[in-house]
């Protein structure tokens, strides 16, 4: 998807530039947890160094927060394109698109740095066996031998800012978009807009729902087994399905694949 959007000039629009960033985040996102998990599974070695845990936690949290903000930017893009099409070139200019992308990366990195540094400096006087397949903050806190309620409250605030608030904004945007779609006169335009919105909402649901449910629950209601099952959705399934959903359900992307890869194979022959 990243290569396709880069080489096909017809896809050089805000919607697809945001999609290319989403693909890059998904690639880094799944690479921060799955390779180490696979190595541990195949080798039988279930350990990770403190530095490795910090690096994994930093990149995981950076991608998680940045993708949450980026999905909100993509929802805003569709909202402007469908509800205010005449204002689209101004509201979603290349400069505005660049600001959205940069803001997602920067804010996600800053938040991740804070939530990586603090848990690593906690004193762990109990078992150091993390009941998870990666260094997840909620799984690390029960191992600390100090009261972490203040930090848990900060996790709640961060989750609300980077996940819950964007999710509510996306929901509001698409409610307005669906209302506008129902009043469209063009049947073809209505179908195209509805397909695009359903695709985005599918991704949003798979991503936000288990994430918010995991991080906003108090410790007393958490179950390690349940947390690991939910984590599979936002660490593996969603990043894996995003390129498939956006490519196979999008006619413009399919046509671009025919142009780019068809040209490549014709040259090879």
Residue 227 near residue 139, CB atoms below 8 Å = yes
Tokens (6 digits) for 94: 């290349």
User: What domains can be seen in the chain, in order of their start residue?
Assistant: 1-122+132-261 (1.20.1070.10)
For residue 175, is pLDDT > 80?
A: yes
Question: Tens of pLDDT along 121-167?
Answer: 888 876 788 888 898 888 888 888 888 888 888 888 888 888 889 88
Which pLDDT band holds residue 248 (cuts at 50, 70, 90)? low
183 compared with 208, residue with greater pLDDT: 208
Q: Residue 32 belongs to what H/E stretch?
A: none
Helix %, strand %, coil % of the chain (to 5): 85, 0, 15
**What pLDDT was estimated at residue 263?**
54
> What is the model's pLDDT at position 102?
95
Q: Higher model confidence: residue 200 or residue 14?
A: 14
Identify the band that residue 265 occupies on the pLDDT scale cut at 50, 70 and 90: very low
Tens-digit pLDDT profile for residues 45-102: 888 888 888 899 999 999 999 998 998 998 899 889 888 888 999 899 889 999 999 9
pLDDT at position 269 is 46
Instruction: State the pLDDT at residue 267.
Output: 53
pLDDT at 45: 82
3 state SS for 229-242: HHHHHHHHHHHHHH
Confirm if 19 and 74 have CB atoms less than 8 A apart.
yes
With a cut of 60, say whether residue 115 has pLDDT above it.
yes
Predicted confidence band at 249 (pLDDT cuts at 50, 70, 90)? low
Rounded to an integer, what distance in angstroms lies between the CA atom of residue 180 and that of residue 230? 34
Residue 1 has pLDDT above 70, yes or no: yes
pLDDT of the residue at 62: 94
Length of the chain: 269
What per-residue confidence (pLDDT) applies to 59?
93
H helices, E strands: number in the chain: 13, 0
């Amino acid at each position: 998807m990243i290569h396709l959007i880069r080489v096909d000039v017809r896809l050089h629009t805000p919607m697809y530039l945001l999609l290319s960033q989403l693909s890059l985040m998904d690639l880094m996102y799944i690479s921060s947890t799955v390779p180490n998990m696979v190595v541990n599974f195949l080798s039988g070695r279930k350990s990770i160094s403190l530095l490795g845990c910090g690096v994994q936690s930093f990149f995981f949290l950076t991608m998680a927060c940045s993708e949450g903000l980026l999905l909100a930017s993509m929802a805003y893009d569709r909202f402007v394109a469908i509800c205010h099409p005449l204002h689209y070139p101004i509201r979603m200019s290349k400069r505005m698109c660049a600001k959205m992308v940069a803001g997602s990366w920067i804010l996600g990195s800053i938040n991740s740095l804070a939530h990586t540094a603090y848990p690593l400096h906690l004193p762990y006087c109990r078992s150091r066996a993390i009941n998870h397949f990666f260094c997840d903050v909620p799984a690390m806190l029960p191992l600390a031998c100090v009261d972490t309620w203040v930090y848990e409250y900060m996790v709640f605030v961060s989750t609300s800012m980077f996940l819950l608030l964007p999710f509510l904004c996306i929901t509001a945007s698409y409610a307005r978009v669906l209302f506008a779609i129902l009043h469209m006169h063009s049947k073809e335009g209505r179908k195209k807009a509805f397909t695009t919105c359903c695709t985005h909402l599918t991704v949003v649901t798979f991503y936000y729902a288990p994430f918010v449910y995991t991080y906003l629950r108090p410790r007393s209601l958490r179950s390690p087994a349940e947390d690991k099952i939910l984590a599979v959705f936002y660490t593996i399934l969603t990043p894996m399905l995003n390129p498939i959903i956006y490519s196979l359900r999008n006619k413009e992307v399919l046509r671009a694949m025919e142009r780019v890869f068809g040209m490549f194979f014709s040259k090879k022959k």
